[in-house]
Amino acid sequence: MDSHLTVAIYFVYICLGLIGAGMLLLFWLRIRSIRIDKKTELYLRKHQEYFKFIQTHLNGASDLPLPPGKLTKLERRVVQNKLIEWIGQFKGEIREKLMKLCHDAGFVRDDISLLDSLFYGRRVSAAYRLGGMRAAEAVPRMLIMLEKQSYSPLTIVIARSIAKSAERGDQLKEMLHHLLRHGKPIHNMAADILMETGLDTSGLLLKLLDDENPDFVKVALVAMWGQAVPEVVPALDRLVGAGEKDVRAEAVKLYLSSNPVLKDETIRELMADTDWEVRAAVAKSIGNLHAAGSIPLLRTALQDSNWRVRNNSAESLAKLGETGFEVLCQIAKHGSGVERETALNHVEKAMLEEAEHQKLDQMIAHNKKKLLYERYFGVSESKPVRQVAAVGGDYTA
Amino acid sequence: MTVNVVYFSIMAFSFRNIMTIFRRAAYSKFNTLSGSELVPSISLLVPAYNEEVTVIENVKCLMTLNYPTYEVIVINDGSSDDTLGVLRREFGLDPLPNPEMRNSIDCQTINAVYHNPQYPHLYVIDKPNGGKADSLNAGINLSHYPLISSIDADSLLEKDALIRMARMYMENPEETVAIGGDVRIANGCVIENGAVKEVSLPRKMWPMFQAVEYLKAFLGGRIGWSSINGLIIVSGAFGLFRKDYVIAVGGYRGGYPGEDMNIIIKLHRYMLENKLKYRIAFCPEAVCWTQAPDTYRILSNQRKRWGRGNLKNMIENYDMAFNPKYKVMGLLTMPYNIIFEALNPYFKITGLLALIGYTMLDMTHWRVLAVFWLINFLSGYLLSVGALLLEELAFKRFNKISDLARMMFYSAIKFFGYAQLGGLWRIQGHIQYLRNNNSWGTMTRQSWQEKSDTAKSA
């Protein structure tokens, strides 16, 4: 019993010691933080004139001057952070001038030397600032850092810095390689990082589309969202038939966003794809392409097992003039199950939306639809709100 | 002793991760990401029951987040006050003639869905009272996006909270099934235009106890648990979920409180039983501010409800405990929760009674009693100091030295009464469970404006 008590008393002493140390540390950290905040404020005020001078001379022909006097470590950091903030806000020549100022002031040199620090935290913060300063000369060193880095949230920080600072496409490709080698499906994140670069990415994206690494292809496809250019169409033609589901879906979405002329046969094939994302993308695009010949396909797709496909099909039918709208009305009146639910919802939506149209041609189109609506559902000014029995078996997400 | 080993181990995991969290938060700028189409779309689900006082400000706050594509779905859960009315008037909402409910999960029949094309991303579902879980299920049925986020109607999200969570999701989208946000106490803070402008500690005693308690639970506990994928709860006040998996597990379980813990246990179970690689993460830099109960009655009701929900979840899922099939969840999280959370007050009471009995029968000495009480107090206080250190290292939300001193003081005095009350409320919750008493209890709200005025004038 005594030995237990002795252990317990030792434990009490250890706890007391740790609590004391913790409290001291807490107060020291707090006081230090307050002091840094106060000094930062002081330095910002002290260099206000210098910052104003820089701002007014950003468009001038001469180089920007260095901060005046001998600066303390924290003072240098305050000035550096302000310049990094501006580099992020400006583009073109102004950004170049600010980047040069960072070089001349020795900020880039200091942070490159910190990349060799023994402390991981210092290396990461240096990489972050180098990205902010668009320091091209730091890219090779940061690529090595990224290569050695195991996957963590900070991998993203380093990759982003490389993307911002890279001066060649092959550096971006190497960055992507290191970023994606961990096997995580982070293609959206990688595309977002890639688009941070100041380089023209169109050539690189085309190359990535032809790469044998499917991860690179996916990154290129998502990076191009909504901006398919004619040059990529041959590559997309090929990728639309790709075996890998994700690649095919992304390729189809991108391909359709370029408003291509689609053969009926192609539409039929795509609408029968096993991947719902492909079917949904095609269903959506049919309305935008005004492909009225595909109305029967859309009608069938209203019974699709996936909600998004049904929804897009109904939306497209509503866009395909009176014929499409009449099909929707027919199903809303005589159909059953999810097909009827979807059609009914979109008929009502179309009536509400189009009632607000002011232009003559829109009014005419709306009135035609209204006549069709009344043919199926009769004239009713105020419809009762339908109660939806929310119990059922639709398990699509 | 065992409980201390577990507590200190979890705290050690939190310390191991804290600097990564700090750097992740400090070195992530969201000016490009928050305008990017590459970010996943999110449906925010906001269950509201008698929230007429706060709901408008909260909805306005939610509609102005820094996030590219999202929708706000408020679910009026049969409020007896004018929650629906104030929403309809403020946003000019009209009932949709044929709302498309996808019926993915069973829930009560809804009355109507309200919408105004001028606010295309806002929907209000009106339904009979069916509880928070039922409301969330109704919201899921209407939601249009692949990710859902549950948010309490009495909470305010920081503008970057959602994008920070989305960033974490994008770091590992395939394996991430849920992410929890950090919940902080807004009592005492200055709030303007639906956002916390000035962070300060609560002035009243009850919210102050909760403020230090939340810090310890979220920073000291959840960071550590999430690092070993053993997180058992994502707070109902703010969490992000993959909708397909929530539907796969049948949505939220109604009928009992503790639905936030229940959905996480179900997700763990589903992923482990289907041998799917997954993670349930915690994102402490994504902050949600909430009004803490500031009276004894409301606080005790809340804690009894939590006790009831916890017990129900443990009883429902007892088969997971000590079952190696469920990995960390089965071997650590569930046993920890059953023994050290659900049954904790009983162990404490029996231990105390035994020691008093031994002392009275002269089988032991009063010094032994004092030493064991000291161990209990000091180890608990050490954990609180650890949580304050985590806060200071990574977040530095409280600027004044007096704030730090107050937090230290309350962390100490909570062992003299508040901690015992916690145990008592938990036991009362268990008794309510056994008596089938399943009432939610009273919860009164104060408008954010009033709270903010009080904070300013203090």
How does DSSP assign B148-164, residue by residue? Answer: EEEE-TTEEE-TTHHHH
pLDDT tens, N- to C-terminus, chain A (397 residues): 567 888 889 999 999 999 999 999 999 999 999 999 999 999 999 999 999 999 999 988 888 898 888 899 999 999 999 999 999 999 999 999 999 999 999 999 999 999 999 999 999 999 999 999 999 999 999 999 999 999 999 999 999 999 999 999 999 999 999 999 999 999 999 999 999 999 998 899 999 999 999 999 999 999 987 666 777 777 877 887 777 777 888 888 888 877 777 777 888 888 888 888 888 888 888 887 777 778 888 999 999 888 889 989 998 998 888 888 888 899 988 888 888 888 888 888 888 776 665 555 666 677 777 777 777 777 655 444 444 444 333 334 3
**Which residues of B fall within a CB distance of 8 Å from A9?**
371
Quote the CA–CA distance of A104 and A79 in Å, as a whole number.
Answer: 13
Which backbone phi and psi does A291 adopt, to 5 degrees? -85, 75
Quote the CA–CA distance of A26 and A6 in Å, as a whole number.
Answer: 30
Please write the tens of the pLDDT for every residue from B194-222: 788 899 999 999 999 999 999 999 999 99
> B223: distance to nearest CA of chain A, Å?
15
Q: Which two tokens stand for residue B106?
A: 């069973």
Of B42, B66, B40, B39, residue with least CA distance to A193: B39
**Which residues of A fall within a CB distance of 8 Å from B16?**
none
Of A102, A109, A55, A64, residue with least CA distance to A81: A102
Task: Examine residue A345 and state whether it is found in any structural domain, yes or no.
Answer: yes
Q: What is the DSSP letter of B54?
A: T
Neighbours of B350 (CB within 10 A): 10
Q: Tell which A residues from 112 to 141 touch B, by Cβ distance under 8 Å.
A: 121, 124-125, 128
Quote the CA–CA distance of B169 and B78 in Å, as a whole number.
Answer: 33
**Which residues of A fall within a CB distance of 8 Å from B107?**
390-391
Q: Residue B363: what pLDDT?
A: 73
CB B33 within 8 Å of CB B23: no
Task: Examine residue A313 and state whether it is found in any structural domain, yes or no.
Answer: yes
Task: Examine residue A346 and state whether it is found in any structural domain, yes or no.
Answer: yes
CA neighbours closer than 13 Å in the CB half-sphere of residue B273: 10
Q: Which CATH architecture is the domain B2-335 placed in?
A: Alpha-Beta Complex (3.90)
Q: What are the DSSP calls for A150-195, one per residue?
A: PSSHHHHHHHHHHHHH--SHHHHHHHHHHHHTT----HHHHHHHHT
Q: Residue A264: what pLDDT?
A: 77
Please report the sign of the dihedral spanned by the C-alpha atoms of residue A23, residue A28, residue A31, residue A34.
negative
Looking at the structure of chain A, the number of domains it has is: 1
Question: Nearest by CB to B375, which of A11, A152, A347?
Answer: A11
Task: Examine residue A286 and state whether it is found in any structural domain, yes or no.
Answer: yes
Please give the single-letter amino acid code of residue A207: K
CB B46 within 8 Å of CB B132: no
Q: Is B147 on the interface with A (CB under 8 A)?
A: no
Question: Nearest by CB to A26, which of B97, B381, B392?
Answer: B392
For chain B, the domains span 2-335
Q: Residue B220: what pLDDT?
A: 93
CB B59 within 8 Å of CB B157: no
Cα-only R_g, chain A: 31
Of B252, B240, B250, residue with least CA distance to B133: B252
> Is residue B280 predicted with pLDDT exceeding 70?
yes
Say what percent of chain B tops pLDDT 70: 95
CB B177 within 8 Å of CB B169: no
Note whether A22 contacts B38, CB cutoff 8 Å: no
Q: Give the number of beta-carbon pairs within 8 Å between A and B.
A: 177
Say what the pTM is. Answer: 0.88
Q: Is A245 on the interface with B (CB under 8 A)?
A: no
Question: Could you tell me how many residues make up chain B?
Answer: 458
Interface test with B, best of A13, A16, A26, A349 (most B CBs within 10 A): A26
Q: Residue A391: what pLDDT?
A: 37
Note whether B385 contacts A22, CB cutoff 8 Å: yes
Q: Please name every residue paired with B290 in a beta bridge, in sequence order, or none if there are none.
A: B155, B185
B444 φψ region: left (φ > 0), alpha (ψ -120 to 50), beta (else): beta
CB B93 within 8 Å of CB B229: no
Task: Examine residue A395 and state whether it is found in any structural domain, yes or no.
Answer: yes
Question: Nearest by CB to A19, which of B32, B248, B385?
Answer: B385
**Which residues of B fall within a CB distance of 8 Å from A26?**
385, 388-389, 392, 404, 408
Q: Residue A386: what pLDDT?
A: 46
Question: Nearest by CB to A191, which of B38, B112, B389?
Answer: B38
Q: Residue A235: what pLDDT?
A: 80
Which backbone phi and psi does A140 adopt, to 5 degrees? -55, -40
Find the helix or strand (DSSP H, E) in which B241 lies: strand B238-242
Task: Examine residue A229 and state whether it is found in any structural domain, yes or no.
Answer: no
Q: Is B95 on the interface with A (CB under 8 A)?
A: yes
B118, with CB counted inside 10 A (0-12, 13-18, 19+), is: exposed
Question: Nearest by CB to B404, which of A26, A383, A385?
Answer: A26
Angle between helices A169-180 and A202-209 (to 10 degrees): 50
Q: What is the DSSP letter of A87?
A: H
Question: Nearest by CB to A345, which of B98, B174, B404?
Answer: B98
Query: How do beta strands B70-77 and B122-127 pair?
Result: parallel
Which residue in the block uniquely carries the two structure tokens 């606080």? B299
Q: Which two tokens stand for residue B195?
A: 């956002």
Q: Residue A4: what pLDDT?
A: 82
Q: Which two tokens stand for residue B431?
A: 């008794």
Please give the single-letter amino acid code of residue A10: Y
In this prediction, residues B31-41 reach a mean pLDDT of: 83
Q: Residue B12: what pLDDT?
A: 96
Q: How far is CA B436 from CA B255, B256, B312, B432, in A?
A: 11, 10, 11, 6
Quote the CA–CA distance of A247 and A272 in Å, as a whole number.
Answer: 17
Quote the CA–CA distance of B402 and B405 in Å, as a whole number.
Answer: 5
Q: Please name every residue paired with B192 in a beta bridge, in sequence order, or none if there are none.
A: B195
Q: Residue B446: what pLDDT?
A: 66
**Which residues of A fall within a CB distance of 8 Å from B401?**
27, 30-31, 34
Q: Residue A382: what pLDDT?
A: 47
* Mean of per-residue pLDDT scores for chain B: 91
Q: Tell which A residues from 33 to 52 touch B, by Cβ distance under 8 Å.
A: 33-34, 37
Q: Which residue segment(s) compose the domain that A346 sits in?
A: 261-397
Q: What is the DSSP letter of A58?
A: T
Query: How do beta strands B238-242 and B94-95 pair?
Result: unpaired
* CATH number of the domain encompassing residue A327: 1.25.10.10
* Helix, coil or strand: residue B131: coil
CB B335 within 8 Å of CB B322: yes
In this prediction, residues B348-355 reach a mean pLDDT of: 84
In this prediction, residues B169-175 reach a mean pLDDT of: 95
Quote the CA–CA distance of A193 and A173 in Å, as a whole number.
Answer: 12
Which backbone phi and psi does A395 adopt, to 5 degrees? -110, 25
Q: Residue A145: what pLDDT?
A: 97
> A296: distance to nearest CA of chain B, Å?
23
Q: Which are the contacts of A153, defined by CB distance < 8 A and separation ≥ 6?
A: B20, B23, B24, B168, B171
Which residue in the block uniquely carries the two structure tokens 């880095």? A149
Which backbone phi and psi does A151 adopt, to 5 degrees? -70, 125
Task: Examine residue A317 and state whether it is found in any structural domain, yes or no.
Answer: yes
Q: Is A198 on the interface with B (CB under 8 A)?
A: no
* Helix, coil or strand: residue A385: coil
Task: Examine residue A172 and state whether it is found in any structural domain, yes or no.
Answer: no
